[in-house]
């Protein structure tokens, strides 16, 4: 029987709660489908570890992860540790260290979820956002001089490389091609940012020639926010820089009804290194330990992980179980306006998964 080695990093806040729920659902799914199993190793990395040892993960932590088939990640970020410390100490260190350059964020309105846009049906909002995940505005280049003095200066340099832009464009075009509408929107800001973003546009046009069957268009990021709200049905696959896609994906999650259900995958498409799968919602310290975190984002993230591991049947089954459960409003957690607990939602997804009439 195939066995997939999974590194489970619950991280901070509600991260460990949702990852525990996600692992239960994945294990049930493997049992139901047969033919594969999970070999899970848990890591206690995160802000608590930082407070005790000064590091979110041990030295060599990223190397340790290389031996795994995938990483299942909860959240990182704590109210009493600066955000840039937690982020660069764990999540970005893993993404950059394992060259997970394609961040993929599907957005759909799941059954039973109330979305804020009037007159937009679930069928009309079905997007997948591809976020460049290794450079751009998150490259980490820059510095500060004359700290604390009136002449203090800080730079935050965006990096766009031909190699980096080309690979994310190829990935996005290929993904667009694999979807029924074969449509890609390239988000840019080349009217104001005349170096990096112009290179971005030029490479998009070059790569477009390799994909003549994909219809591509270009949108300035500011206008894109309006199009997402006013004409969501005109969009399908979207590619954007690290920061632009960060912002657009929160908007997308809100338009689909909740940040609590949105999943994401940090992929190394060449599979030289393991990819990492995480819900988008973050650590949500206000509800830690209450047992009411919404595990749906983590389950959907598990669907992406199953797909990536090469278990599309199991992935589809888990997705159907998720949709069965979201359709029932008595199984909504408080973030969706309901009263259900993490446990109830998890049990319901597992029951649907194991059932014969899914
Ligand atoms: C995301 C998050 C992170 C990001 C935060 C936690 C730094 O917003 O995954 O979208 O900006 O990348
Ligand atoms: Mg974000």
**Predicted local distance difference test score (pLDDT) of residue 249:** 95
Instruction: Give pLDDT tens digits for 31-81.
Output: 999 999 999 999 999 999 999 999 999 999 999 999 999 999 999 999 999
**Predicted local distance difference test score (pLDDT) of residue 358:** 86
Pocket of ligand 1 contains residue 220 by CB under 6 Å: no
Q: Which atom of ligand 1 is nearest to the CA of 280?
A: 9
Pocket of ligand 1 contains residue 323 by CB under 6 Å: no
Q: Which parts of the chain have pLDDT scores under 50?
A: none
* Contacting residues for 212 by C-beta, under 8 A, at least 6 apart: none
- How far, in Å, is the centroid of ligand 1 from the Cα of 284? 13
Would you state the structure tokens that stand for residue 256, as one six-digit string?
């689909």
Q: Which atom of ligand 1 is nearest to the CA of 249?
A: 10
Name the closest ligand to CA 87. Answer: 1
What stretches of 93-164 adopt beta strand conformation (E)? 102-108, 126-132, 136-145, 153-159
Q: Which of 203, 231, 256 is the last residue of a domain?
A: 256
Return the sign of the alpha-carbon dihedral for residues 22, 25, 28, 34: negative
Shared-domain flag, residues 121 and 251: yes
Pocket of ligand 1 contains residue 87 by CB under 6 Å: yes
**Predicted local distance difference test score (pLDDT) of residue 171:** 98
Shared-domain flag, residues 201 and 132: yes
**Atom 11 of ligand 1: nearest residue by CA position:** 246
CATH number of the domain at 15, please: 3.40.718.10
- How far, in Å, is the centroid of ligand 2 from the Cα of 96? 16
**Atom 10 of ligand 1: nearest residue by CA position:** 246
Shared-domain flag, residues 176 and 295: no
Shared-domain flag, residues 248 and 303: no
Shared-domain flag, residues 176 and 301: no
**Atom 7 of ligand 1: nearest residue by CA position:** 87
**Predicted local distance difference test score (pLDDT) of residue 119:** 85
Pocket of ligand 1 contains residue 246 by CB under 6 Å: yes
**Predicted local distance difference test score (pLDDT) of residue 260:** 86
pTM above 0.85, yes or no: yes
Shared-domain flag, residues 124 and 208: yes
Would you state the structure tokens that stand for residue 268, as one six-digit string?
């190394």
Within-domain flag for 69: yes
Closest CA to 73 of 24, 145, 22: 22
Task: Identify the domain containing residue 157 by its residue range.
Answer: 115-256
Q: Domain total for the chain? A: 2
Shared-domain flag, residues 233 and 218: yes
Pocket of ligand 1 contains residue 351 by CB under 6 Å: no
Q: Which of 256, 271, 306 is the last residue of a domain?
A: 256
Instruction: Give pLDDT tens digits for 289-317.
Output: 999 999 999 999 999 999 999 999 999 99
Return the sign of the alpha-carbon dihedral for residues 30, 348, 343, 261: positive
Within-domain flag for 249: yes
Q: Which atom of ligand 1 is nearest to the CA of 92?
A: 12
Say how many C-beta atoms besides its own lie within 10 A of residue 59's C-beta.
8
Q: Which of 231, 256, 281 is the last residue of a domain?
A: 256
Pocket of ligand 1 contains residue 99 by CB under 6 Å: no
- How far, in Å, is the centroid of ligand 2 from the Cα of 244? 10
**Predicted local distance difference test score (pLDDT) of residue 258:** 85
**Predicted local distance difference test score (pLDDT) of residue 322:** 98
* Contacting residues for 80 by C-beta, under 8 A, at least 6 apart: 47, 51
Shared-domain flag, residues 119 and 93: no
Calpha distance 145→152 (Å, rounded): 6
Shared-domain flag, residues 276 and 314: yes
């Amino acid at each position: 029987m195939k066995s997939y080695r999974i590194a489970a990093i619950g991280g901070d806040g509600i991260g460990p709660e949702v990852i525990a729920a996600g692992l239960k659902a994945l294990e049930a799914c493997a049992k139901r489908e047969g033919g594969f199993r999970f070999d899970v190793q848990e890591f206690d990395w995160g802000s608590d570890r930082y407070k005790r040892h000064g590091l979110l993960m041990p030295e060599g932590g990223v190397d340790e992860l290389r031996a795994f088939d995938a990483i299942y990640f909860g959240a990182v970020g704590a109210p009493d540790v600066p955000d840039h410390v937690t982020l660069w100490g764990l999540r970005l260190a893993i993404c950059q260290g394992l060259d997970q350059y394609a961040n993929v964020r599907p957005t759909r309105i799941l059954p039973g979820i109330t979305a804020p846009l009037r007159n937009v049906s679930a069928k009309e909002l079905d997007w997948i956002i591809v976020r460049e995940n290794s450079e751009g505005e998150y490259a980490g280049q820059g510095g500060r001089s004359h700290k604390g003095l009136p002449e203090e200066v800080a730079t935050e340099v965006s990096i766009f490389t031909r190699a980096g832009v080309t690979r994310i464009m190829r990935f996005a075009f290929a993904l667009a091609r694999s979807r029924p509408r074969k449509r890609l929107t390239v988000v840019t800001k080349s009217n104001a940012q005349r170096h990096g973003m112009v290179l971005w546009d030029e490479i998009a046009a070059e790569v477009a020639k390799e994909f003549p069957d994909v219809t591509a268009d270009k949108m300035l990021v500011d206008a894109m926010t309006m199009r997402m709200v006013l004409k969501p049905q005109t969009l399908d696959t979207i590619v954007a820089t690290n920061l632009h896609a960060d912002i657009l994906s929160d908007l997308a999650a809100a338009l689909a009804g909740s940040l609590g259900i949105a999943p994401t995958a940090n992929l190394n498409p060449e599979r030289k290194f393991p990819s990492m799968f995480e819900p988008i919602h973050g650590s949500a310290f206000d509800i830690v330990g209450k047992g009411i975190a919404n595990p749906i984002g983590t389950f959907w993230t598990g669907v992406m992980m199953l797909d990536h591991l090469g278990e599309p049947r199991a992935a589809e089954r888990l997705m159907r179980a998720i949709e069965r459960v979201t359709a029932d409003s008595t199984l909504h957690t408080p973030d969706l306006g309901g009263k259900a607990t993490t446990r109830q939602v998890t049990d319901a997804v597992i029951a649907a998964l194991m059932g014969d009439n899914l």
